Amino acid sequence: MTTVNPSVDALLADIPALAPYARKATLLRPRTGRPTALDSHVGGPLLWPAEEEWPVCRGPHLIEVREKLSEQEREAWQRTDRAMRDRRAGRPNSAYELTHEEAALQSRIMDGAGALDMRTWERIRRVPVPADPGVPMVAVLQLRAQDAPTLDWPEGMDVLQVLWCPQEHSELPGQAHYWGPAVEMRHRPAALTGPLAEPPAPPADAVARYVPRPCLLDPVEVTDLPDQDELPDELVAEAEAWAEDRDAEYHRVLSCQEGWKAGGWPSWHLTDLMRIDCPACGARSRLHLTFDSGHDPDLNVGRFGELRVFTCPVDATHPLRLNIQ
């Protein structure tokens, strides 16, 4: 594995006070290919013993429910829409504005629904339903230790497998403020004997953006630095000035590097810094894996964001935490 990113090494050499914050990470760099069960890959067959039960998710899952607006509701919504446009006429760079009365009217029409389809004039709700008998999980990632040495590997284990349910979930147990697929992570030794399991096909109602296109990996080891909120102000100023002098960016270039990643630091580009603690012992969790949207795997989590898996640095058997930015 090649080590790259000499800019971070140069930054650390010039500002040694940053060194305690540096973390090794592996950028996984998925590329469309035909993986086998022996490879590190995204969305390919897993090194999974045939006698071991394939995991299923028993929900509850969020499904879309549509409700047709009445003629009176549709006409009222259209009146407020025309009023907004009339107020904006002649001010093309100004924002659309609602009066308090119009906002209250729209709130009554939506009645707690999350979206409105203005082509069909339907309110859209997402409601939880039990999954019976359960939804087979989808293989998302398989990593061999030789391709991601920057992770902490349990003794005797050299394969990491990540599966998730290709359905929407909200407020999973232990996952406050999370909306996305339910995730399961397994470790196993690569030296398996006997037949391997044939993975079940994704269910017909799977969310397409949660089913990855098969990819091989082109891993590369990097040094990653934290978001500005993790550093003292004086170090942030020094690092940003150093990067600016070299026509570079500190955020997402020298720090919190983007893409599919094992280890490293998370970015908090959509929110302020959020402390994510282990639900079992309270220790501050560390970033373990980052799944990115788009590119060759053709996934989409959040709004083309990143799904991050955090694990406990004290005890790897403690429950993982999920976050999307």
| Phi-psi category of residue 27: left, alpha or beta, with phi > 0 → left and psi -120 to 50 → alpha | beta
- Express as a percent the part of the chain with pLDDT over 70: 98
Which residue shows structure tokens 């220790």?
283
Q: What is the value of pTM for the model shown?
A: 0.82
Which residues make beta-bridge pairs with 3? Answer: 221
Using the 8-state DSSP alphabet, how is residue 182 labeled?
-
Structural contact between residues 124 and 117, judged by C-beta atoms closer than 8 angstroms: yes
pLDDT in tens, 99-137: 999 999 999 999 988 899 999 999 998 888 877 778 999
The CA distance from 158 to 48, in Å, is 13
3-state SS track over 77-96: HHHHHHHHHHHHCCCCCCCC
Structure tokens at 19: 């060194």
Domain boundaries, the chain: 70-129
pLDDT in tens, 246-258: 998 999 899 999 9
By C-alpha distance, which of 179, 183, 181 is closest to 167?
Answer: 181
